[in-house]
């Protein structure tokens, strides 16, 4: 169990962390600097690929080995007790028409394995690949971009991510509660 300085707790199973099946970290600094207060100073627990309410406490005061009887903050509020993994997701941050073509760009992530590819769909057509930026880490956001030749008019653009493990982003819209959000990020572009 990880306990924050204000008493907030999050429990993690020990065995997948001990065996290395889950890459867990006790973070005390970033980029050679001590962890900033807004990011969890003096320390935080982080398991790449788990949603925040399952990955471990920020502003860490204590680690405690306990049995399965402990009830965490989010469990009391109806969220599942088992950790929830982030699913592949892509986001469109730029959709700008130009004189010759539209520039479209964004980010995607698919922790813990990383982003294999990102695809766009224009006006419910076929999915087409985009150019990926350099991967900083499998659990980090990965930039992507493309240029689209589109005829004049209004166009709907959707993005999806595919992980290295072969998982394709789920396009069915779902709210974050209780298992994390799904759906394709969709923007409308006027050319």
Residue 142 sits in a domain whose CATH number is: 2.60.40.650
Query: Which residues lie across from 188 on neighbouring strands?
Result: 156
Domain that holds residue 72: 2-77
Domain shared by 62 and 121, yes or no:
no
**Position 99 pLDDT exceeds 90:** no
Q: Is 32 among the domain residues?
A: yes
Residue range 64-76: mean pLDDT, rounded: 84
Same domain, 151 and 178: yes
114 and 46 in a single domain? The answer is no
Statement to judge: residues 110 and 186 lie in one domain: yes
Instruction: Please report the pLDDT score of residue 42 as a whole number.
Output: 94
More confident position, 14 or 132:
132
DSSP for 18-54 reads HHTSS--EEE-EETTEEPPGGGTTT-EEE-TTB-HHH
Confidence label for 33 from pLDDT (cuts 50, 70 and 90): very high
Q: Given this model, what pLDDT does residue 117 score?
A: 98
Q: Verify that 14 and 95 share a domain, yes or no.
A: no
CB distance 58 to 44 below 8 Å:
yes
For residue range 135-177, what is the model confidence (pLDDT) as tens digits?
Answer: 998 888 999 999 999 999 999 999 999 999 999 999 999 998 8
Last residue of a domain, one of 77, 106, 121: 77
- Strand order through the sheet with 89-97: 89-97, 102-109, 142-148, 131-132
> Which 3 state secondary structure label does DSSP give 77?
helix
Q: Do 120 and 161 share a domain, yes or no?
A: yes
Residue 186 above 80 pLDDT? yes
In a domain, 125, yes or no: yes
53: pLDDT strictly greater than 90: no
In which band, very low, low, confident or very high, does the pLDDT at 50 lie, cut at 50, 70 and 90?
confident
Q: What is the pLDDT of residue 43?
A: 95
147 belongs to a structural domain: yes
Q: Give the pLDDT band (50/70/90) at residue 54.
A: confident
The answer to the question of residue 84 being in a domain is: no
Residues 179 and 131 in one domain: yes
Sheet strands (E) in the chain: 2-4, 9-10, 25-27, 29-30, 33-34, 44-46, 60-63, 89-97, 102-109, 115-122, 127-129, 131-132, 142-148, 154-163, 185-190
Strand partners, 74: none
Residues 185 and 116 reside in one and the same domain: yes
User: What is the number of domains present in the chain?
Assistant: 2
């Amino acid at each position: 169990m990880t306990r924050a300085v204000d008493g907030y707790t999050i429990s993690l199973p020990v065995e997948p962390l001990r065996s290395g099946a889950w890459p867990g970290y006790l973070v005390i600094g970033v980029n050679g600097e001590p962890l900033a207060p807004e990011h969890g100073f003096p320390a935080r627990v982080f398991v790449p690929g788990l949603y925040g309410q399952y990955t471990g406490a920020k502003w860490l005061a204590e680690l405690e080995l306990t049995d399965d009887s402990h009830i965490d903050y989010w469990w009391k509020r109806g969220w599942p007790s088992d950790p929830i993994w982030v699913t592949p997701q892509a986001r469109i941050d730029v959709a700008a028409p130009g004189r010759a073509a539209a520039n479209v760009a964004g980010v995607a992530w698919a922790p813990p394995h990383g982003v294999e590819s990102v695809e766009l769909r224009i006006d419910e057509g076929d999915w087409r690949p985009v150019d990926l930026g350099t991967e900083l880490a499998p659990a980090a956001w990965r930039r992507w971009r493309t240029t689209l030749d589109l005829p004049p008019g209004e166009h709907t653009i959707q993005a999806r991510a595919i992980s290295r493990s072969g998982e394709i982003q789920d396009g069915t819209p779902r709210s974050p509660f209780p298992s994390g959000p799904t759906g394709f990020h969709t923007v409308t572009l006027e050319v």
